[in-house]
Chains A and B, each alone.
Chain A
Amino acid sequence: MKRVMGIINLYENEELIQEITEHRPLAAVPFAGRYRLIDFTLSSMVNSGIQNVGILLRSKSRSLMDHLRSGKEWDLARKRDGLFILPPAQASSGAVKGNGDIENFYHNLDYIESSRQKYVLISNSHTVCNMNFRKAFQFHENTGADITIVYKEQEKDSEDFTGSTVLATTDDGRVIDLAVNPAKVNGGKISMDMYLMRKELLVDIINGCYARGGVDLLKDGLIKNIDSLKIYGYQHKGFVARINSIASYYRHNMELLKPEKWQELFMKSGLIYTKVKDEAPAKYKENAKISNAMVANGCIIEGEVENSVLFRGVKVNKGACIRNSIIMQKCEIAENAIIENVICDKDVIITNGKWLKGDQRYPLVIEKGTVI
């Protein structure tokens, strides 16, 4: 895998998840009690032996930069290779104005071209999984494909498939059709938006797109060239969570309360690294009542917690009750407050005795720093 470099493309659709991406890119959205979305792809790359990773930024990057710092937590603070931050160009000089990822790629071609690796794996932050890319790379080499797309075979109604890309393949895995967000998509071979190819090919595609006014790597680079390129689909069989809306964010956090999913995502093919905060272990007091919950360090629990995910440093005071909710870092739920089906963003304070209730399918989202 020393021959493969990684690029995490943060040009992602945030339309349906605006409530929690107002202050941060999707990549920096807190997930699963102590992580940010980007941790999963980044850790998977590192665990697969990739040592050179570029992060293609889009905007609102402060919280993400604060999270990544030198890349040390992912063992990417290296003398050669390691972590590279690829910011968007300040002013676009070409013909195309920023409405696609091609321009971002184009402005960072220098980094891509000067990297020593022969292959490139392009991924994203919104696909949460713990994956061994070695197998995908082996598949790529065995099939002799120009491009390998990682996909997941998904059952009908198992997800909200809005915005996803659907693959059609022959029996041996060759991709014969790719459609972005087609009408009435429901299950099937859903792309995980991860692509493996030779670096030279990526450079050619970017230059080709840019010169012809193409803006989007997938639509203009891959789909338009589907006949001339040998594209194969590699099926990933493990756990995948696509975070593209508040509903999917809520559902996939909750899904991790099943021990087998928890085990698979966090342990199976390698550990998931994240920025360390040095919080003390969670403390449970005399009257704590807790069932089916995921709790990060630094929490102090005196009240009742059920079917919920608590991020680090959350305080649940006496008589407070949290059900089916996601409570992000450093929130405080005061005495006798009751919240149900709620997503509290960071630093929210729910004062004494308040009752808040959302719906399981439409959880109530409370904005960062709100005092209720």
Chain B
Amino acid sequence: MRKTECLAMILAGGQGSRLGSLTKKIAKPAVPFGGKYRIIDFPLSNCHNSGIDTVGILTQYQPLALHSYIGAGGAWDLDRKDGGVYVLPPYAREKGAEWYKGTADAIYQNINFIEMINPSYVLVLSGDHIYTMDYSIMLEYHKAKKAEATIGVIEVPWAEAPRFGIMNTAENGRVTAFQEKPSQPISNLASMGIYIFNWKFLKRSLEEDAKDINSSHDFGKNVIPKMLAGGHRLFSYHFDGYWKDVGTVESFWEANMDLLCDEPDLDLHNPSWRVYSVNPTRPPHYIAAEASVTRSLISEGAAVYGDVDHSVIFPGAQIGAGAKIRNSVIMPYANIGENVEINRAIVCRRCVIEEGAVIGDESSEITVIPEGDVVPRDAQVGAGGIIIQKQVG
């Protein structure tokens, strides 16, 4: 068996509770995004495009849709004889079963798996960020710096810095200080949750952390600060492309809308950096004679009879005649009836919005219609998905 230089481990077990009803039935990485993708397509495609062909995916919360989506990994060219994709849910051992207690614990519990692959480096990724990035450049950087750990960082607006792990670095990129979600940030260089570790070093650190009963076994909170305190060679790798943490309904909606400007920062149409996904087997989409479509992404299998502006329409969605869809995300196989008005909303898979219903409005926060819901005829749904008024028709 050939030697695997760098193994990627994708943390895909989080519940994503701040996404509310978007993640009621599916794990966050399996949430549909960008007109045909799921969030996990981004790290998986990045791996493929960066030449990383061995990937472990750590799952835990509502894994069914995620597992069946990943399958054998063929969609990302990861169904390989050597390597490929490994789905790693928590499992029972001789002394009982344990859930993954934190990001570091999830990796710790899979030490046996990593030892089997025996890589020189381990790349730890999140399953819930939207970005395209060449990890092979980061790996070269890691090697050139003779680092023990390299952390991907990006500049964020100062106001948002308290949401992130914040880094202070020396001129050569060496990390000098690290604060997890600080109220008084020392810089605006945020950790992207992308780490490259020398495997032997990571293994030692995880074993130490596992023994620490006060630790919450989290990379940002515990493991990285301990590494830093131990005087190890930690470097930051500066990324200046598009990167978005889609942890909240608002940011998820925004990330979708970011794709709709004329020259988006995240270019899905770039032929040299394709984002791969599982194909839904649908015909090209159909736009009817009376329809109009502007500033939008529309995917295969959709049928549009109404007006769509500044929206993202997924495969198999139907938009009825006279309907007006603005600033919204319409997920796969949602059925939007005639004369429905939707603004600033996310309509999840297989929802049925009956004739004349009105969903969301300009001023309010984002409205989410959860998977499979039926909004009755002429109903009005305000922010938070509450039906305001229902007319029996």
Instruction: Show the binding face of A for B, using Cβ within 8 Å.
Output: 32-35, 72, 257, 259, 262, 265-266, 271-273, 276, 278-298, 300, 309-312
Whole-angstrom distance between the alpha carbons of A298 and B299 in the complex?
9
Residue positions of B touching A, CB distance < 8 A: 34-36, 74, 262, 268-269, 274-277, 279, 281-300, 303, 312-313
Please tell me if the beta carbons of A280 and B294 are within 8 angstroms of each other in the complex: no
Cβ of B262 and Cβ of A285 under 8 Å apart? Answer: yes
Known A266-B282, A291-B287; judge A296-B36 contact (CB<8 A). Answer: no
Who on chain B is nearest to A275 by CB?
B279
- CB-based contact B286/A262 at 8 Å: yes
Q: Chain B residue with minimal CB distance to A32?
A: B283
Q: Given the complex, which residues of B lie within 8 Å of A35, measured CB to CB? A: 283
Decide if A290 touches B291 in the complex (CB within 8 Å).
yes
Closest Cβ of chain B to A272, distance in Å, is 7
Q: Give the Cβ gap from B301 to chain A, nearest Cβ, in Å.
A: 8
Which of B36, B276, B298 has the largest number of chain A CB atoms within 10 A? B298
Known pairs A281-B297, A283-B297; A297 contacts B36 (CB<8 A): yes
Quick one: closest B residue to A35, CB to CB?
B283
Q: Per DSSP, are chain B's interface residues mostly helix, strand or loop, or mixed?
A: loop
Q: Which residues of A contact B34 (CB under 8 A)?
A: 280-281
- Could you tell me the distance between the alpha carbons of A33 and B287 in the complex, rounded to whole angstroms? 13
A272-B281 in contact given A278-B274, A280-B268 (Cβ < 8 Å): yes
Cα A283 to Cα B303 in complex, Å, equals: 15
From B35, B36, B287, contact of A295 by CB (8 A): B287
- Is the Cβ of A297 less than 8 Å from the Cβ of B296? no
CB of A295 within 8 A of CB of B294, answer no
A289–B299 CB distance below 8 A: no
Residue of A nearest to B308 (CB): A284
Given A278-B276, A295-B298, CB of A289 within 8 Å of CB of B292: yes
Q: Give CA–CA (A281, B287) in the complex, Å.
A: 14
Residues of B within 8 A of A72 (CB): 74
23 contacts between A and B (CB under 8 A): A32-B284, A72-B74, A259-B286, A262-B286, A272-B283, A278-B274, A280-B297, A281-B34, A281-B35, A281-B36, A281-B312, A282-B297, A282-B299, A283-B296, A285-B262, A288-B294, A292-B288, A293-B287, A295-B284, A295-B285, A295-B287, A309-B284, A311-B284
Contact partner of A290 (CB less than 8 A), chosen from B275, B282, B287, B297, is B287
Shortest CB distance B72–A (Å):
11
Question: Which residues does chain B contribute within 8 Å of A281, judged by CB atoms?
Answer: 34-36, 268, 297-300, 312-313
Let me know if B293 and A280 touch, CB within 8 A: no
